[in-house]
Amino acid sequence: MTSRTFRLLPAGLLLACGLAFAQNTPPSTQLAQMGGAMHAAAKVCGDYSEAQLKEMKEKQQQSMKEMGLNEADFEAAFNAGLERGSKDMATISEAQRQQMCEQLRSGPKF
């Protein structure tokens, strides 16, 4: 993963908090859902090209495959997170959106 991917973590976590994770949901599925929510935030903030977003998703999918999550389950979980993240981003105010994007841009660099 690139350092920019990790900079998405704070906002992704904020969005993912709204996701209804079942307690028996495997960690890899939860991570894929969070990745979808982070993807939604990244699209709204506009700091990544579609090619960069695609590459990050592919890398995450490979990581989740190594954790035992098959492609179909990854896509389902990622898309659920993306849908929820997109809905969440659409409901926050412009000021909140700008603040979240700024936090993404100034977040920790790993």
Which tens digit of pLDDT belongs to each residue from 13-56?
A: 454 445 444 567 889 999 999 999 989 998 999 989 999 999 99
Residue ranges of domains in the chain: 3-17+26-105
Q: How does the average pLDDT of the chain come out, rounded?
A: 82
In angstroms, what is the C-alpha Rg of the chain?
A: 13
- Taking the whole predicted model, whether its pTM rises above 0.85 is answered as no
Whole-number Cα distances in Å, 34 to 47, 94, 95: 18, 22, 23
The reported pLDDT for the residue numbered 22 is 52
For tokens 């490979």, the residue is 62
d(CA 64, CA 18): 21
Q: Is residue 80 predicted with pLDDT exceeding 60?
A: yes
d(CA 11, CA 2): 16
Which of the residue ranges 22-31, 52-61, 63-72, 100-109 would you say has the lowest mean pLDDT? 100-109
Please give the residue that has the higher pLDDT: either 55 or 7.
55
